Structure formats: structure tokens, C-alpha cells
């Protein structure tokens, strides 16, 4: 196993080790005002939406996790089966490894093989060459491309990059590919200045990926030969980052600590076009297998349709009309930052 593949498998093991299903995050400090008389009917079709010119059954999707090793190939096969079964989108983990190790392509292409008509989203880091990225998108037959921005993770990683001048690089990548681009954080949240900088450079879709879920500084600190745990608290809470994005006219995805259907509803109420879920689905799969995750996904689709009716929303955009309120701790952050 190569050093890069070994790191992929280490990340999977550490994500499992640090996973805490009872972890509190900013979704718990945000509340939606429920109408006692919603005058609604539960309709599973009410949560269907369009994503990259394809119709999907739900506004949540399997977000970027893995690829580039033997174990990740097995995981991507199972995730693709489930995505195909329920017609939801799936993003792959970083495929930048393919620039140096093209023989790892099957661990990514397995998703397209098992979901030939569905939405598959490729993922690379911003330092992947534009030529290699274009090849990756073509080989994976991706419908869209995530370019992930992971400064804090790289800072915590013992072998991490130390050059964070990425804007020109992601512009080069955009010019080389012919699919939609998503600029994605990895669990530390987008700030408003960076959102505006991306808008100024004509990027139109971001994934805020706020703090509250997987903490890659924590994961990398456990791999480091000296303590960098001070990096673990640098993230913006998901709800705060979403509200920063909401104040602009950029389209955005909410992810980072999504654990249940109500979190999805809250993300949509914040204005997200879609909601991404990573580690919760991964750990459900690792604990209960493909059958267990398949049952969970089906339940989520039913429960999100149920919650739509509970809040009186006939369509996904209606959720943005639902009144919100916040616990004092979160409201204090919002008052200072927005």
C-alpha cells in the first residue's frame, strides 16, 4: 500500500474512532417555529428537486468521504448502490491521488459503475493540476466537481501543504473542466469575506461545511508528532457560516454535522439548495452494513417529507419562510459576526 493510500485508510479509521453520535453542534441551538395548524399533507414527492440538470428524490446527498484504497473501494461501491436505489446524489472523496497513482482509479470509478445514470460528484484539492483534474472528471464521468479548501487540515497534517495561495489554481481548474464547480470547505466553515471573494471571481456554488461534525484537525493531530490540538477550535459553526452565505446571493450547500432529518430541514430553512451528509452515513454503514444504511436513507426520505408537512411547507423553498430563533450562545456569535 502506498503512503497516500495508507493515509486514506488512516482517515477512515480515525473518523470512526472520533465519531460521537451524541455530539452537540449549532443545529441544536437553532429552532424553527412550528405551526400548530399547518394545513398540509405528507407527500414524499414534495422533497424531490433538480441537481445538475437531473431530478433527485431528495435534497440531501452523500457527501465526499473516500477513495484511493482497497477499503474505500468497497465503501464507494456500497454507497453508490444506495445512491442509485434511492436516486440521491453522491460525492466521492478526494481523487487528487490519481495524479500520482492512476492505478487507484477503480476505487473511484466503482461509483459510476454501480450508479450509471445518477449524480456522481468528483473531488480534488486546489493544487491538483488542471490537466489532471480534467482527466479525473472525464474518467469518473462526473456530473460536477468539488474543489475542497482545507487550510486547517493541511496545517494540522504532518505532511500537509504550506502554500495556501489557491485562488488562481481553482480558476485554472474551472477553465479546464466542463462541469459545474462546487468550492467546498472540509469542516471549518466559510467566512463571509471568502464567500465574497469567490463571488467576485465568478464562482456561484459553495459547500460551507461548517464545524460540528468531523474535525480534521483532530484527526490530523492524532497523526502528528507534536501537539497541534489548538487548531481544533478554529472552525465556524455550520449555522453561522450558512447565515453568512444567506446574506449573499451565492448558491450554497449546507454540510458539517448533519445527523438527522431535522438537521436537513434546518439547513434548507437557512437557504441551502442541498444538504450534504458524510460521517453519519459512513458510520451507519460501518456499523450496520449496506442494508442498515439503505434503511436509514429510506427513513430519512420519509421523515423529511413528514417534517415538511409538520412545518406547513408545500415545497422546499417554503422552508425559508419558517421563523427561526436561536439559543443565546449562538445568538451572541451571530450578533458579533453578522
248 labeled binding residue = no
Give the closest residue to 303 by CA, choosing from 263, 272, 271.
263
**CA distances, 215 to each of 41, 87, 182, 326, 335 (Å):** 39, 29, 21, 24, 25
223 is in an annotated binding site: no
Annotated ligand binding at 272? The verdict is no
Q: 284 labelled as ligand-binding?
A: no
Residue 154, annotated ligand binder? yes
Residue 229 among known ligand-binding residues: no
214 appears as a binding residue in the annotation: yes
Confirm whether residue 257 is marked as ligand binding: yes
Q: What is the DSSP secondary structure assignment for residue 21, as one 8-state letter?
A: T
Euclidean distance between CA atoms 2 and 183, whole angstroms: 28
Please indicate if the annotation marks 309 as binding a ligand. Answer: no
> 201 a known binding residue?
no
Q: How far apart are CA 147 and CA 126, in angstroms?
A: 6
List the beta bridge partners of residue 183.
147, 206
Question: What is Dmax (Cα atoms) for the chain?
Answer: 59
**257: phi then psi, degrees, rounded to nearest 5:** 85, 20
- Is 66 assigned a ligand-binding role in the annotation? yes
Q: Is 153 annotated as a binding residue?
A: yes
The secondary structure of residue 103, as a DSSP letter, is: G
Non-local (6+) Cβ contacts of 137 within 8 A are 122, 145, 177, 178, 179
Any known ligand binding at 217? no
Q: Is 258 annotated in some ligand binding site?
A: yes
| Block residue for cell numbers 472528471 | 137
Cα–Cα nearest to 235, from 211, 265, 259, 201: 211
Binding-site sequence positions for FMN: 64-66, 94, 123, 184, 214, 257-259, 278-279
Binding-site sequence positions: 7-8, 64-66, 94, 123, 153-154, 184, 214, 257-259, 278-279
Binding-site sequence positions for Mg(2+): 154
Binding-site sequence positions for substrate: 7-8, 153
Amino acid at each position: 500500500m502506498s503512503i497516500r493510500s495508507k493515509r486514506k485508510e488512516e482517515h477512515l479509521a480515525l473518523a470512526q474512532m472520533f465519531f460521537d453520535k451524541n455530539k452537540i453542534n449549532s443545529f441544536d441551538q437553532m429552532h424553527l417555529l412550528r405551526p400548530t395548524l399547518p394545513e398540509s399533507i405528507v407527500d414524499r414527492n414534495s422533497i424531490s428537486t433538480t441537481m445538475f440538470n437531473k431530478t433527485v428524490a431528495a435534497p440531501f446527498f452523500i457527501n465526499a468521504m473516500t477513495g484511493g484504497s482497497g477499503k474505500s473501494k468497497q465503501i464507494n461501491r456500497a454507497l453508490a448502490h444506495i445512491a442509485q436505489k434511492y436516486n440521491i446524489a453522491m460525492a466521492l472523496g478526494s481523487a487528487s491521488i490519481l495524479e500520482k497513482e492512476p492505478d487507484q482509479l477503480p476505487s473511484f470509478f466503482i461509483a459510476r459503475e454501480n450508479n450509471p445514470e445518477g449524480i456522481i460528484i468528483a473531488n480534488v484539492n486546489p493544487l491538483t493540476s488542471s490537466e489532471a483534474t480534467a482527466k479525473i472528471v472525464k474518467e469518473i464521468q462526473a456530473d460536477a466537481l468539488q474543489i475542497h479548501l482545507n487550510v486547517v487540515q493541511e496545517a494540522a497534517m504532518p505532511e500537509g501543504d504550506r502554500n495556501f495561495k489557491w485562488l488562481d489554481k481553482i480558476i485554472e481548474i474551472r477553465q479546464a473542466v466542463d462541469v459545474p464547480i462546487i468550492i467546498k470547505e472540509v469542516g471549518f466553515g466559510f467566512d463571509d469575506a471568502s464567500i465574497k471573494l469567490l463571488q467576485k471571481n465568478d464562482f456561484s456554488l459553495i459547500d460551507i461545511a461548517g464545524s460540528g461534525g468531523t474535525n480534521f484537525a483532530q484527526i490530523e493531530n492524532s497523526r502528528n508528532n507534536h501537539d497541534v490540538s489548538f487548531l481544533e477550535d478554529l472552525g465556524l459553526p455550520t449555522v453561522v457560516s450558512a447565515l453568512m452565505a444567506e446574506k449573499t446571493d451565492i448558491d450554497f450547500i449546507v454540510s458539517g454535522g448533519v445527523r438527522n432529518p431535522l438537521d436537513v430541514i434546518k439547513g434548507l430553512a437557512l437557504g441551502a439548495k442541498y444538504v450534504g451528509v458524510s460521517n453519519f452515513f459512513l458510520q451507519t454503514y460501518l456499523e450496520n452494513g449496506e442494508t442498515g444504511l439503505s434503511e436509514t436513507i429510506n427513513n430519512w426520505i420519509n421523515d423529511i417529507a413528514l417534517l415538511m408537512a409538520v412545518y406547513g411547507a408545500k415545497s422546499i423553498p417554503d422552508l425559508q419562510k419558517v421563523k427561526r430563533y436561536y439559543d443565546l450562545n449562538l445568538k451572541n456569535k451571530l450578533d458579533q459576526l453578522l
